[in-house]
Each structure stands twice: as structure tokens, then as C-alpha cells.
Amino acid sequence: MFDRRLVQNFDYPLLMLVLLLAGIGILNLYSAGFNRTPEGATPVYLKQLYWLAAGLGLLFLTLLYHYRHYEKIATPLYVLSVVLLVLVMVAGKTVSGSRRWLALGPLTLQPSELTKVAIILVLSRYFSRRPQTAPLGLRDLLAPGALALLPAVLIIKQPDLGSGLLVLAVAGGITLFAGVRWQTLTLLGAAAAAGAPLAWPFLKDYQKQRLLTFLDPEKDPLGSGYHIIQSKIAVGSGQLWGKGFLCGTQSQLYFLPEQHTDFAFSVFAEEWGFAGSAVVLLLYVGLVLYGLMVARSCRDRFGQYLAVGVTALLFWQIFINLGMVTGLVPVVGIPLPFFSYGGSSLISTLLALGVLMNVRMRRYLYGG
């Protein structure tokens, strides 16, 4: 039923923050694709605008029902995401050697993006129903670990190492919030450190090359190191105030690759400099802190876990992408929310933020 308190408690600050970041991102995509769109084709920034409108519509749909009803769809959504990931392996669309998309008529769906939302819901349901006893031990992590590993492995097999690790990182954030014994964390950390070298033979050749390039990009400046070198040049050449809108030489003269996806922020940093980049970083920090505030103010455990999961998803995407474009982490193809072009990514981000807004709006209700 309609509740007037929903209007009174509508999360206008979060919506304004989302619209501001999305607006800056679309303006940046306009610059990234300036004078580059083939005749008769839809410009990238317009496509992103259409996806933004669709995503906002879905965001508002998520607000119609109390967030605690999402417990009922958590398991079906998780199962659906796993089924779609299996379908990708069987009949997915291959682009640049990776099979990550399902063709749906004129549209394409990237199931790994749906999985990011599904893993938040299913783990929030799992931990909120678990009795609040002692911190989690190794045996307690078997079930949630299996829930996270199954879709992560399917995603990594596409191959999409970045998205697979992101699913694990989000699951890890929710699990840490649930509470884990420090002895268990120490054991898992030691096992991961010891097992990391054993994973090397299982990596694809291009994944190995990315790691080697991260360690020494100058070794192959015109080959595997080209992307990160050009990105760092673009970011650094912006200096304090930037070169101005549509005046970035790295982007406008086609030196910077993947400038509407992985390296969209490099375009922005070159044109708007340190000052503009600092403003965007502050907006992202505000978004993450807002998510933590929602988790803290929520009155029930399921809502708290949802807020923490959404916040972890945003944080890791922001951290990894910005680390990529500045050479601080290997290039793993993680999009920057609201900046990188991609319909599936934008819609999954807005769906997750819709869940966060729902928790914030209904913080005064416990039942529902």
C-alpha cells in the first residue's frame, strides 16, 4: 500500500548524486567519441543516455516494494544468473576472444552483471537468517563460499577474470561484515598467498601478459604495454586544470585506446586535470560513505547486509578501475560506474543503487 512516509523519506540526496555522476559520465563519453561515430550509427553517449533512462526506470521499480520482499527472489535470481552463465558458455556471443554476452534480438545481455546483484541478495539472505552467535569459522564459510565460487568460476571461464574476482570481492565484503575469526582470516590469507603461484598455469596467455605488463609496461611499449602507457600519459598531461573540454590530445588524436570503456576516466583526467578529477573522486567517496551510512542506520540485518553489499560493489569497481588507468593495479576490464560505456553494467549499477535507496527510504520500518 502507498505510504506517505515514502515520499517524505525519498532519498533525494542519493538520487542527485547518481544523476550528477551519470551526467558527467555522459558528457565525458561525448568527448571520447567526438567526430568518431560512423555515419548513420548512434553515438555512444546517446546509447548510454538511453540505457540510463532504462536503468532509472528499473531503479524506481525497485522502490515499489519493501526491500525485505527481496528475500523471496534472492534464490531464484541467483539460480537464474547461474543458468544464464552456463548458457553463455554454450551459446554466448564471442567478442575479442571472450564469450560473455547473450544475444537477445538486437540487444545483448552480459549475465555477469546480473550476477553481481544476485550474489548481494543471496548472501544477504543467507547471513541475515543465520543466528547471531560467535564469529564465523572455516566450516561456517563453506556454504557462502560455495555460493560465491560457483558463479565466479563460470565468469572466469568466459574468460573474464576481473568480473569473477569482483564477485568474490563483494562476497568477501559481506562475509567480513558478518564477522570472521581472525585465526580463520589468517589461515585463508596464508593459503591464498601460497596458492597464488599455482594459479599461473591456468591463466590465459593474455591474462599472464597483463600481469607481466603491470610489473613492467615499458618492456613492450608498442604492444601489451601500450594501453597503460597512453593512459598514464593522458592522466599526467592534464596537470592541474586540464586541457579543456574536447581538447585532450591523447583522446582526440586517437592515441588512447578503449577510451569509452576501460579508460574513460583517462579522457576526463586529461581534459579536466587534477582539479576536475578531485571533484569526481570526492563524489565517488561521498557515494561509498553514503552507502555505509545507510547500513549503519538500518534497523534489520537483511537491510544492513544489502547496504554493505551494494557499497562493496561500488567501492571495488571504483577502486580497481581508477587503479587500472593510473597503473596501480593490472588491467582487468572492470568498468567505472557511470563513466564506462555499457548497458548491462549501467543497469546493474542502478538496480543495486535502487536497493540501497529502498533500504534508506524504509529505515523507519521494521516489518513490512
Distances (CA, A) of 360 to 159, 200, 289: 36, 43, 13
Read off the amino acid at residue 150. L
Terminal Cα-to-Cα distance of the chain (whole angstroms): 10
Name the grid cell of 212: 607481466
CB hemisphere CA count around 138 (13 angstroms): 8
Read off the amino acid at residue 335. P
d(CA 113, CA 119): 10
Read off the amino acid at residue 263. F
Name the grid cell of 90: 554454450
d(CA 125, CA 87): 26
CB 287 within 8 A of CB 52: no
Helices 161-178 and 301-325, packing angle to 10 deg: 140
Of 6-10, 69-73, 247-251, 335-339, the one with minimum mean pLDDT is 6-10
Q: What integer pLDDT is reported at residue 121 of this predicted model?
A: 98
- pLDDT grade, residue 367 (50/70/90)? very low
Give the DSSP letter of residue 294.
H
d(CA 286, CA 294): 12
Within 8 A by CB and 6+ apart from 90, the residues are none
User: Which runs of E-coded beta strand occur in the chain?
Assistant: 93-95, 98-104, 107-109
Query: Residues 347, 352, 356, 358: what is their CA dihedral angle, to the nearest 10 degrees?
Result: 70
Query: Residues 245, 250, 256, 258: what is their CA dihedral angle, to the nearest 10 degrees?
Result: 10
pLDDT in tens, 282-319: 999 999 999 999 999 998 999 999 999 999 999 999 99
Q: What integer pLDDT is reported at residue 223 of this predicted model?
A: 85
- pLDDT grade, residue 202 (50/70/90)? confident
Find where cell 543516455 sits: 49
CB 288 within 8 A of CB 282: no
When pLDDT is averaged across residues 20-49 and rounded to a whole number, the result is: 89
CA-based nearest residue to 155, from 354, 344, 7, 330: 344
Cβ atoms within 10 Å of 83's Cβ, excluding its own? 11
- pLDDT grade, residue 127 (50/70/90)? very high
In the chain, the percentage of residues whose pLDDT exceeds 70 is 96
Is 60 exceeded by the pLDDT of residue 11?
Answer: yes
* Residue 7 CB burial class (10 angstroms; 0-12, 13-18, ≥19): exposed
d(CA 207, CA 331): 9
When pLDDT is averaged across residues 215-229 and rounded to a whole number, the result is: 87
CB 142 within 8 A of CB 185: no
pLDDT in tens, 332-363: 889 999 999 999 999 999 999 999 999 998 87
* Residue 72 CB burial class (10 angstroms; 0-12, 13-18, ≥19): exposed
Q: What integer pLDDT is reported at residue 333 of this predicted model?
A: 87
Is 60 exceeded by the pLDDT of residue 366?
Answer: no
CB 63 within 8 A of CB 281: no
- Largest Cα separation within the chain, whole Å, is 63
Strand partners, 103: 108
- pLDDT grade, residue 3 (50/70/90)? low
